[in-house]
A and B are shown apart, each in its own frame.
Chain A
Amino acid sequence: AQKITQTQPGMFVQEKEAVTLDCTYDTSDQSYGLFWYKQPSSGEMIFLIYQGSYDEQNATEGRYSLNFQKARKSANLVISASQLGDSAMYFCAMREGYFGTDKLIFGTGTRLQVFP
């Protein structure tokens, strides 16, 4: 069965430093998509970045990058130059199959706190 594991319940990082949030996944599918979402204290889910299983290059979106290691089944989120506004819950998620069905499997999340 597909599964997402986030082993870091909480992380602290100083402002302007980089931080890596870990995510490992388990699937027998050859085609899948990996997502990271941010959930601030206000509660909404904000899409950050996507990586497809066939993408050879790591995805990047501004200060966010995804360190995709397919053989190790890991999809870590790297946030560079952390800002106070990055304090939030971060969820890693996997989509079953390659095309959208909205069937996302989520990890339990990592709470990131950025301090001055």
Chain B
Amino acid sequence: NAGVTQTPKFQVLKTGQSMTLQCAQDMNHEYMSWYRQDPGMGLRLIHYSVGAGITDQGEVPNGYNVSRSTTEDFPLRLLSAAPSQTSVYFCASSDRGEDTEAFFGQGTRLTVV
């Protein structure tokens, strides 16, 4: 069972470069989201989606774009990388339901120099 798959696992970018973090899930979950984890701050929600074609902003959306054309995929785009975006990024998915847990990918460690 693959679950939630994130690629790449590690990435170094130069300031101003753009890139896309990939996230795919094979559990047919409706809900997907992106979080960033910074030291001492826990995980913070960047963007989320409640289904294909529907996305919305979370707590820290600036500098990131998302789209959801299929149920399975939810890529996160960094438009012009900045050192402040150095972080660990997690993608998560969950099913509809009252007690459904969020399943997380393995994370992507991004460094912007």
Contact = CB atoms under 8 A, between A and B. Distances in A.
Interface size grouping (class) on chain B: 20 to 34
B94 A91 contact: no
Nearest to B97: A100
Contacts of A99: 96-98
Contacts, number: 71
A35 B101 contact: yes
Given A104-B102, A106-B43, 9 more contacts: A4-B42, A50-B101, A52-B99, A100-B95, A100-B100, A103-B33, A104-B92, A106-B35, A107-B42
21 contacts: A33-B98, A43-B88, A43-B106, A43-B107, A44-B104, A47-B101, A50-B99, A50-B101, A98-B98, A99-B96, A99-B97, A99-B98, A100-B31, A100-B97, A100-B100, A102-B93, A104-B43, A105-B45, A106-B42, A106-B43, A106-B44
Interface of B: 30-33, 35, 40-45, 48, 50, 58, 88, 90, 92-104, 106-107
